[in-house]
């Protein structure tokens, strides 16, 4: 329920931002993913040394790093 | 590996600022060293090309070279180990108008582990591209062996799904909510690790066959002034083994001419698996010595410097350097109450 409310709030919040108002959001520094290859190496460090995984845009699987 | 979709995106996304170049290539090397006598050198090279306006094909090779004399290794009486893991990823991404479809196949192999993973994802833009919804599914098969024991053959099957919504919440704010679930079924212990009980009697560790993981993450990027941004992330996680964790991260990125400078921090706190014990008085159905299943906190902090030159149709070049320090505090691992170390990465990206 909390997640659904959060999604609703997110979608409601976008209604006022028109395409010509999103110049700042298009800048590379504002991208949510950052440098994808750097992110992959970074997440590998976290996921092989912490007990949790996921939440990075893809679902988790097995790991050969035990 | 648990990073299937990230790997897929790493190849599918051009490494430089150009919107959609014909060809993109990137390389990255990272060195991890910690106080537990472990060094990991990771090298990745990737390339992608756009044979048609809507289709991008890519491939990546990644190698992890591990050298370790950690307490896990020493306790299994094997001395320092040297391992090499190879990972190959191929991707295809179709993008037309408001829709995108992607597929990736990953093969990872090391001396005692091999895995095949398939990732499928789709996304759609709504409200004049102000909202993007995305879904992804993954499935994988892992074959696990053990050096010195040719008769040990174990299997781990993985599957999962992920849904996300990304919103332009204001002229300066991007928000993303990500929900994920994954089920792992099969062998998830280490064939090299022992649990100790009673009067120092050692048994191979055993953990439940099934593990259901759930995660929720919220990202918020805020444009501060002329050419700088604050990126933040909050993540909550729980699984059927009893682990509950929370992660918080923030990065400040500022542009100075052709350079981008970033400062970043990340904190993590985890509650232990319900069957984890610092010491076992008597045998239990599940017993582990895996400190990743114990209660601990960790923190990472560092800085990055990137240089980018975009020559229009002639192409674009990006070089970046990143340095991080980190520390772990294990409250339930008497043999290793803390671990600290450094990570250094150098990356190069080209597109034309």
pLDDT tens per residue, range B9-37: 445 454 444 467 889 999 999 999 999 99
- pLDDT-derived band at A15, boundaries 50, 70, 90: low
**Cβ–Cβ < 8 Å for B68, B38:** yes
Q: What is the mean pLDDT of residues B133-162?
A: 94
Residue A14 scores a pLDDT above 60: no
How many CB pairs lie under 8 A apart between chains A and B?
Answer: 255
**Cβ–Cβ < 8 Å for B270, B245:** yes
B147 — contact with chain A (CB < 8 Å)? no
Q: Which residue has the higher pLDDT, B138 or A57?
A: B138
CA nearest neighbour of B249 among B267, B222, B270: B267
Contact A32 B158 (CB under 8 A): no
Query: Which positions in chain A touch B268 (Cβ < 8 Å)?
Result: 46, 50
Contact A40 B182 (CB under 8 A): no
Average pLDDT, chain B: 91
Which among A4-8, B73-77, B198-202 has the top mean pLDDT?
B198-202
Determine the pLDDT at residue A8.
60
Contact B42 A16 (CB under 8 A): no
Residue B158 scores a pLDDT above 80: yes
Q: Which residue has the higher pLDDT, B3 or B227?
A: B227
- pLDDT-derived band at A62, boundaries 50, 70, 90: very low
Tell me the CATH number of domain B96-351, given options 1.10.760.10, 2.40.170.20, 1.10.357.10, 2.60.40.10.
Answer: 2.40.170.20
Segment 1-60 of chain A within 8 Å of chain B by CB: 3, 6-7, 10-11, 13-19, 21-22, 24-25, 27-41, 43-47, 49-60
Q: What is the mean pLDDT of residues B241-265?
A: 96
Determine the pLDDT at residue B286.
97
Contact A58 B113 (CB under 8 A): no
Contact A40 B32 (CB under 8 A): no
CA nearest neighbour of A63 among B334, B213, B136: B213
B105 — contact with chain A (CB < 8 Å)? no
| Least confident range of A39-43, B68-72, B299-303 | B68-72
In whole angstroms, how far apart are CA B65 and each of A43, B38, B44, B144? 17, 11, 12, 19
pLDDT, one tens digit per residue, over B78-116 is 678 899 999 999 999 999 989 999 999 999 999 999 999
Place of tokens 């050298």: B67
Smallest Cβ–Cβ distance between A54 and the set B108, B237, B298 belongs to B237
Q: Which residue has the higher pLDDT, B12 or B292?
A: B292
Determine the pLDDT at residue A60.
32
B206 — contact with chain A (CB < 8 Å)? no
Query: Which positions in chain B touch A18 (Cβ < 8 Å)?
Result: 128
In terms of phi and psi (left: phi > 0; alpha: psi -120 to 50; beta: otherwise), the region of B200 is: left
Q: Could you give the CA distance from residue B214 to residue A52 in angstroms, rounded to a whole number?
A: 9
Instruction: List b or e across B61-85, with b for residues whose CB sees 16 or more CB atoms inside 10 angstroms.
Output: ebebebebebbbbbeeeeeebebeb
pLDDT, one tens digit per residue, over B294-304 is 999 999 999 99
Residue B328 scores a pLDDT above 90: yes
The DSSP string of B16-84 is: SSSSS-SEEEEEEEEEEEETTTEEEEEEEEEEEE-SSSSEEEEEEEEEEEEEE--HHHHHTT--SEEEE
Contact B162 A15 (CB under 8 A): no
A48 to chain B, closest Cα gap in Å = 9
Q: What tokens does B239 get?
A: 């699984």
Determine the pLDDT at residue B23.
94
% of chain B beyond a pLDDT of 90: 75
């Amino acid at each position: 329920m909390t997640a659904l409310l959060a999604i609703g709030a997110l979608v409601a919040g976008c209604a006022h931002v028109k395409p010509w108002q999103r110049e700042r959001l298009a800048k590379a520094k504002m991208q949510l993913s950052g440098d994808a290859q750097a992110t992959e190496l970074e997440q590998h460090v976290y996921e092989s040394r912490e007990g949790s995984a996921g939440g990075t845009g893809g679902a988790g699987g097995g790991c050969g790093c035990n | 590996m648990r990073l299937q979709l990230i790997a897929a995106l790493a190849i599918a996304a051009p490494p430089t600022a150009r919107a959609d170049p014909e060809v993109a290539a990137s390389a990255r090397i990272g060195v991890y060293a910690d106080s537990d006598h472990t060094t990991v050198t990771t090298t990745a090279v990737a390339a992608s090309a756009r044979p048609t306006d809507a289709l991008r094909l890519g491939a990546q090779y990644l190698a992890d070279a591990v050298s370790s004399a950690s307490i896990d290794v020493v306790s299994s009486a094997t001395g320092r180990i040297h391992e090499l893991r190879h990972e190959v990823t191929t991707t295809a991404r179709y993008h037309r108008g408001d829709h995108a479809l992607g597929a990736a196949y990953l093969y990872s192999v090391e001396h005692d582990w091999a895995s095949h993973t398939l990732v499928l994802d789709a996304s759609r833009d709504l409200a004049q591209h102000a909202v993007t919804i995305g879904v992804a599914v993954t499935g994988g098969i892992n074959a696990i062996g053990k050096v010195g024991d040719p008769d040990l053959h174990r299997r781990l099957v993985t599957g999962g799904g992920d849904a996300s919504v990304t919103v332009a919440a204001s002229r300066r704010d991007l928000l993303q909510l990500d929900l994920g679930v994954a089920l792992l079924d099969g062998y998830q212990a280490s064939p090299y690790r022992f649990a100790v009980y009673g009067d120092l009697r050692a048994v191979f560790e055993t953990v439940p066959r099934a593990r259901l993981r759930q995660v929720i993450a919220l990202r918020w990027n805020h444009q501060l002034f002329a050419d700088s941004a604050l990126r933040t992330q909050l993540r909550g996680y729980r699984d059927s083994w009893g682990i509950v964790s929370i992660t918080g991260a923030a990065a400040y990125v500022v542009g100075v001419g052709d350079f981008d400078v970033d400062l970043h921090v990340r904190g993590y706190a985890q509650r232990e698996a319900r069957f984890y014990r610092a010491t076992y008085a008597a045998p239990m159905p599940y017993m582990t010595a895996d400190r990743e299943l114990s209660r601990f906190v960790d923190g990472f902090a560092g800085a990055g410097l990137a240089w980018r030159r975009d020559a229009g149709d002639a192409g674009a070049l990006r070089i970046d350097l990143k340095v991080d320090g980190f520390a772990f505090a294990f409250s339930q691992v008497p043999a290793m109450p803390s671990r600290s170390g450094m990570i250094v990465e150098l990356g190069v990206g080209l597109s034309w």
